[in-house]
Amino acid sequence: MNLLILLLLLLTIISVGYYCFAIYAAIDFFSRPSKINHDFYPPVTILTPICGLEWELETSLISFCQQDYPRYQIIFCLQNQSDPCLNILKKIKNNFPDLDINIVTNPQAIGNNLKISNLANAVAIIKYPILVITDSDIQVKPNYLQQVVEPLQDNSVGLVTCLYTSLTKGFLAAFEALEISTQFHPRVLTAKKIEGIQYAFGSTIVIRKKILEEIGGFLGIADYLADDYQLGNLVSKLGYRVILSDYLVAHRLADVTWRSFFQRQSRWAKCIRVERFWGYLGLIFTQGTVISLALLIATGGVWWSWLICLITWTIRMLMAIIVGVKLLKDQVAKKYLILVPIRDLVSFWLWCYNLVGNTVNWRDYKFELAKGGKLIKLEVK
């Protein structure tokens, strides 16, 4: 047995071990009962940065206006008065006259991350000490606020974040989203089980205003691509706990082209690599689908390599079924489950491709990713 075959065999065995542990971590996470204190309703401010018209934007935003929660403020933040979403925001404000809804339009930029600039421009009118920051492509149910704010009863908790399922339009959007519930979330739950959570997701970030100020406010993360990761990481470094809520929000994704798919996936991959290089390299241990296939080819298809490949792919699919379909109840995972191996092959190719290079395209700009994930603007596209 040569060194290459031995290495591929070892990586395959580790990947199978990862798949099994990820299943265990996910079952453990979702089997814990939620504890809700029906007397804990601190007033909160919801901050939602918006740029342009997204698929079902109005439906997503209205879901935050239908919360079973006594007192909360909503601030929609955008940069441009000519943004086509402004009419939708005004319509929502008029349709919910009893809600405290504010619309902030301000072109001022405090850094290269314009989403964070949008949020910073809303700080002056924030009324309440607890902030719920959420992306505009997120949809929630009426019990959302009560559930995600709940962990803040514990003063050691500095931030709460959420996993998400996918609502998609079009095959490419579904193909891109397939990775979320069948690979990305299992990785997150594995990491949580081993070392806890030290980062956040843009789907939901619940944070006390005073803690946001302790980490330097929005200005402190205004030049970073992964602002959600930075928020969670900075809060964790202050000694506060970051909690992963068991509440699942829905993330909308539509109008995906091969170009936008590639650019978005490359941004995420490169961002992970420049922020956590060894963690990025460690993702090779989660690529059992591809590695077992490489082992099969490298051995010339001997019987035992076929057996190992079959076992690896079976356990990989079990992870997708148990975590993505059964526990997360993700409809994309359920509908496109058969494409998981192909999605794994594409993900592996993207992982290899993004091992080098630090330039990314984001909206209308090209940036260089500096150490730690900081954005340096290079040119307008």
Q: What is the pLDDT of residues 261-275, one digit of tens each?
A: 999 999 999 999 998
Q: Read off the tokens for 350.
A: 């993207």
The stretch 162-178 carries a mean pLDDT of: 96
Q: Summarize pLDDT for 328-364 with one digit per residue, the tens.
A: 999 999 999 999 999 999 999 999 999 999 999 887 7
Tell me the three state secondary structure of residue 266: helix
| Cβ(142)–Cβ(68) below 8 Å | yes
The model's confidence at residue 379, banded by pLDDT at 50, 70 and 90, is low
Dihedral pair phi/psi, residue 63, rounded to 5°: -60, -30
Residue 21 pLDDT: 98
Look at the block and give the residue holding tokens 């946001």: 212
State what percent of residues in the chain have pLDDT above 90: 87
Q: What is the pTM of this model?
A: 0.93
Q: Looking at the predicted structure, is the pLDDT value of residue 63 above 70?
A: yes
- Sorted by where each begins, the domain ranges of the chain are 3-28+273-380, 34-256
Q: Read off the tokens for 154.
A: 């514990």
Residue 34 pLDDT: 77
The stretch 57-62 carries a mean pLDDT of: 97
Residue 381 pLDDT: 55
Q: Summarize pLDDT for 70-90 with one digit per residue, the tens.
A: 999 999 999 988 899 999 999
- Burial class from Cβ neighbours inside 10 Å (0-12, 13-18, 19+) for residue 141 reads middle
| Cβ(65)–Cβ(134) below 8 Å | no
Q: Which residues of 57-91 are buried (b: 16+ CB within 10 A; e: fewer)?
A: bbebbbbbbebebeebbbbbbbbeeebebbebbee
The stretch 31-40 carries a mean pLDDT of: 82
Q: Looking at the predicted structure, is the pLDDT value of residue 30 above 90?
A: yes
Closest CA to 236 of 146, 316, 156: 156
The stretch 204-208 carries a mean pLDDT of: 98
The model's confidence at residue 23, banded by pLDDT at 50, 70 and 90, is very high
Mean pLDDT for the chain? 94
Which homologous superfamily does the CATH classification assign to the domain defined by 34-256?
Spore Coat Polysaccharide Biosynthesis Protein SpsA; Chain A (3.90.550.10)
State what percent of residues in the chain have pLDDT above 70: 99
What letter does residue 323 receive in the DSSP assignment? I
List residues bridging with 242 in a β-sheet. 159, 197
Q: Summarize pLDDT for 307-330 with one digit per residue, the tens.
A: 999 999 999 999 999 999 999 999
d(CA 327, CA 338): 18
The model's confidence at residue 35, banded by pLDDT at 50, 70 and 90, is confident
CA distances from 218 to 116, 133, 215, 239, 296 (A): 6, 12, 9, 19, 50
Q: Looking at the predicted structure, is the pLDDT value of residue 298 above 90?
A: yes
List residues bridging with 377 in a β-sheet. 367
Q: Read off the tokens for 351.
A: 């992982």
The stretch 221-232 carries a mean pLDDT of: 93
The stretch 289-295 carries a mean pLDDT of: 97
Residue 365 pLDDT: 83
Q: Read off the tokens for 8.
A: 């591929």
Residue 199 pLDDT: 92
Please work out, in degrees rounded to the nearest 5, the angle formed at the alpha carbon of residue 57 by the alpha carbons of 102 and 107. Answer: 50
Q: Summarize pLDDT for 107-154 with one digit per residue, the tens.
A: 999 999 999 999 999 999 999 999 999 999 999 999 999 999 999 999
Least trusted range by pLDDT, from 33-37, 142-146, 171-175, 299-303: 33-37
| Cβ(313)–Cβ(329) below 8 Å | no
List residues bridging with 207 in a β-sheet. 131, 159
| Cβ(256)–Cβ(172) below 8 Å | yes
Q: Report how far apart the first and last C-alpha atoms of the chain are (Å, whole number).
A: 51
